[in-house]
Amino acid sequence: MEGNIIEAAKLIGAGLAMIGALGGGIGIGLSAHGAVQGIARNPDAAGQVQTNMILGIAFAEAVAIYCLVVALLILFVF
């Protein structure tokens, strides 16, 4: 089996790039935490809280998605 150092570096780099998804995960967890607490205290506001939560999750998730795109670019383009 012949070693190909560039292939190996690509795989390692893609794996390292996905570390950034950590931040997105924490952010989504925090926003869901706040939203559930808010709904528990005021169940009538559930609709509005949910809408804002989904928006917040979308923003937090965007950063994780950037990491994913970078990892996919490393894997399949370069």
30 or 65: whose CB is closer to another protein?
A: 65
Residue (36 or 65) nearer to another protein, CB: 65
Whole-angstrom distance, CA of residue 64 vs CA of residue 22? 8
Count of all residues that appear for the chain in the document = 78
CB of 9 to another protein, least distance (A): 19
CB of 28: closest distance to another protein in angstroms?
A: 12
Q: Tell me how far CA of residue 33 lies from CA of 21, 24, 48, 54, 59, in angstroms.
A: 18, 14, 15, 12, 16
Q: Cα(18)–Cα(72) distance, rounded to whole angstroms?
A: 10
Q: Give the per-residue contact string, 21-60, with another protein (x = CB under 8 A; - = no).
A: ------------------------------x--xx--xx-
